[in-house]
Amino acid sequence: MLNGKKHWITGGGVSRLHLIFAKVFDEDGNFEGVGGFLAIRDETEGLEIVKREPTMGLRGIPEAEIEFNDMQLPPSALVMPPRGLKKGFADLMTAYNSQRVGAGTVALGIMEGAYELALDWTEEREQFGRPINEFQGVQWNLADMSIRIAAAQALIYKAAESGRDGFPDMVMAAQAKIYTSENAIQVVNEALQLFGARGYSRNLPLERMARDVRMFTIGGGTAEVLRNVVASGLLQKKLPQTRDGYSKLAAKAAE
């Protein structure tokens, strides 16, 4: 039986299958670890889609709040046996590496689309009797956008390649998502700026791109948290601000 709630579930209320990771306790209340369970919308008793979150962008797929009210989980619902907190949670975080590469790939697609729109527009739009891409300032804008895209592509492809035999490398996935998500925002904003007031209009897709791309520095691990992931991987140790790192410092101080 499972009780609790979870916010910001992508696809909640639309997806039929829900994979849930939760702490598992035996009949005497002893903690066994983190296990994975499969629940089915409209079939699993106690699984309730409470509401859809109103979002700034990415409205094509919902973000939902889900509640588990005495949700019945038969043995057949168990897809990953409970393991110690570190192992069970580590398994979940390892799987997140694929999600981070995937999210970075979507951000990359958005920034490429915005760049292509801007590239075409600067040839079509004329000022003072010539296309605006003949002005050096605009040329530099386009050059910078293309550089950001090329670098993002390299990071995304490298991270994806690292997962050929399993999940992508943790540090590579984090690096790719940080760089691509942050630079996608920059490229979309620069593309919108080149369109002027037309870019701000809902008659063009750029305003939607600007709203959509903003989520990728947040969802699937914020850019700030992922910088900690990269630093931890580079230093090959638990950082002092994490639970494990703090415990080690506290134990050392108590000696």
Q: Which residue has the higher pLDDT, 145 or 31?
A: 145
Q: Which residue has the higher pLDDT, 92 or 4?
A: 4
Task: Enumerate residues 6+ apart whose C-beta is below 8 A from 119.
Answer: 142
pLDDT above 70: residue 84:
no
Question: What's the CATH fold of domain 87-248?
Answer: Butyryl-CoA Dehydrogenase, subunit A; domain 3 (1.20.140)
Average pLDDT over residues 93-105: 91
Q: Which residue has the higher pLDDT, 33 or 83?
A: 33
For residue 66, the model assigns a pLDDT of: 95
Average pLDDT over residues 152-158: 98
pLDDT band at 81 (very low <50, low <70, confident <90, very high): confident
Residue 219's Cβ-count burial label (10 Å; 0-12, 13-18, 19+) is: middle
**Domain spans of the chain, in order of start:** 2-83, 87-248
What are residue 5's phi and psi, to 5 degrees?
-150, 160
Distance CA 101, CA 75 (A): 33
Q: Is 175 left (phi over 0), alpha (psi -120 to 50) or beta?
A: alpha
Average pLDDT over residues 97-103: 95
Average pLDDT over residues 234-242: 86
Task: Enumerate residues 6+ apart whose C-beta is below 8 A from 249.
Answer: 240
pLDDT above 90: residue 153:
yes
| Residue 188 token pair | 């979309």
Best CA proximity match to 181, nearest among 136, 227, 138, 143: 227
pLDDT above 80: residue 145:
yes
- Of the chain, the percentage scoring pLDDT greater than 70 comes to 93
Task: Establish whether domains 2-83 and 87-248 are of one fold.
Answer: no
Q: Which CATH superfamily is domain 2-83 in?
A: Butyryl-CoA Dehydrogenase, subunit A, domain 2 (2.40.110.10)
For residue 239, the model assigns a pLDDT of: 86
Strands 78-83 and 130-131: unpaired
Instruction: Give the model confidence (pLDDT) of 103-136 as tens digits.
Output: 999 999 999 999 999 999 999 999 999 999 999 9
pLDDT band at 92 (very low <50, low <70, confident <90, very high): confident
pLDDT above 70: residue 248:
no
What are residue 68's phi and psi, to 5 degrees?
-115, 105
Instruction: Give the model confidence (pLDDT) of 29-78 as tens digits.
Output: 898 888 889 999 999 999 999 999 999 999 998 999 999 999 988 889 99
Distance CA 184, CA 148 (A): 8
Instruction: Give the model confidence (pLDDT) of 160-216 as tens digits.
Output: 999 998 899 999 999 999 999 999 999 999 999 999 999 999 999 999 999 999 999
For residue 96, the model assigns a pLDDT of: 84
pTM, rounded to two decimals: 0.88
